[in-house]
Structure 1
Amino acid sequence: MNRLVGISSIIFAVFAWNGATAQPHSVPIGELTDSMRLHPKHALILISTDWCTFCRMQKAQLRKNDDFKKAVPYLYFAELDAGHNEDISFNGTTYSFKATGHGTGSHELAYVLGETGNRLAFPTWVLLNENFEIIFKFPGVIKAGELSQLLETIPRHSTPK
């Protein structure tokens, strides 16, 4: 019996540790349109790449941000990998990866959502309202306090789903 309790404690500790370090719950970008139409609420999109050190830093910040954890029931969070090379359907339009050289390029959707002044920076934060309108765009690293202020602007009157 003691051995069973010990094993159960270890299993619980592993799952608790995994939960504490897990990625923020996100909706796959290809499913975001359907989710927003089925249960309308704001969407926060982080446009990033696999090679971007600052993007990894921002994702780590999200895992630790209590205000983000509290806001998750009232918004969708999606990550858009600008290097994703498959088509993505978003709000009735299909977007593709556009090569700019051998082994380089960016996804059209990343440009549509994140372009500022004819350039795309990583990371870029985009906040959409329930009507898919961009209401906030920030190219670069956003500080924890600034993220908290942004999250405070999201309506909390909607029912969490």
Structure 2
Amino acid sequence: MKILVLLFLVYSSYCSSQELKMYSSEEIGKLHTKPLVIHIYTDWCTVCGVENYRIIKNKPLVKLLNENYYMIKVEAEKTKNDIFFQVKKYSFVSNGTSGLHEFAQAFSRNKLQPIYPIWIIIGTDGHLLHYQEGSFRKGEMEIVLKNLMQNKK
């Protein structure tokens, strides 16, 4: 019951309060003027839901993301559209009643069983700036993003 209440709070807060600008997975290959923050997650991942809640409630972090990055979320097991990124096409691979998007598998270090969430930050030149499997500790994401901005200058 506690999990159900937590999921409801996370979902209702996400739907009602956020101004975090999100871009679709279809736009990944088209965005070049700011670095990309790609969040690969699953609906069943409670850590992903809690982390998402913490991010959208952190107004300074939302502002930092909106002004300096493109935030893209990819649901690893439900994103069905093809993703074109760095001259490669990634597709959803069904295995009966479920499946996994090749994009999630390609960017996971554990190819057999990806660990969620996966955070990937790609610079405007297409190079990997930061990779992380698992959640950020409280305040860590903001530090990483600010450090990347400082290193860019």
1:89 and 2:76 matched:
no
Equivalences, count = 137
Is there any run of 5+ residues in structure 1 with no aligned partner, and where? 1-16
Larger radius of gyration: 1
- CA deviation vs aligned residue, 1:28-74 (integer Å, no higher than 9, x gap): 121122122xx2x2111110012221111111111112342231211
The aligned amino acid for 1:103 is T
Q: 1:31 aligns with which of 20, 27, 31?
A: 27
SS of residue paired to 1:154: helix
**Aligned counterpart, 2:4:** none
Are the counterparts in 1 of residues 23 and 70 from structure 2 also a CA contact under 8 Å? yes
Report how far residue 19 of structure 1 moved. Answer: 9.0
Are the counterparts in 1 of residues 120 and 131 from structure 2 also a CA contact under 8 Å? yes
Q: Distance in 2 between matches of 1:68 and 1:107?
A: 28
1:103 and 2:101 matched:
no
Q: Distance in 1 between matches of 2:63 and 2:139?
A: 14
Change (3 A) 1:23 1:120: farther
Are the counterparts in 2 of residues 48 and 124 from structure 1 also a CA contact under 8 Å? yes
Q: Structure 1: which 4+ aligned runs deviate by more than 6 Å?
A: 17-20
State the identity %: 23
**Aligned counterpart, 1:155:** 149
Q: 1:69 aligns with which of 62, 71, 81?
A: 62
The alignment yields a C-alpha RMSD, in angstroms, of 2.5
Is there any run of 5+ residues in structure 2 with no aligned partner, and where? 1-12
Change (3 A) 1:18 1:137: closer
**Aligned counterpart, 1:127:** 121
SS of residue paired to 2:31: helix
**Aligned counterpart, 1:10:** none
SS of residue paired to 2:148: coil
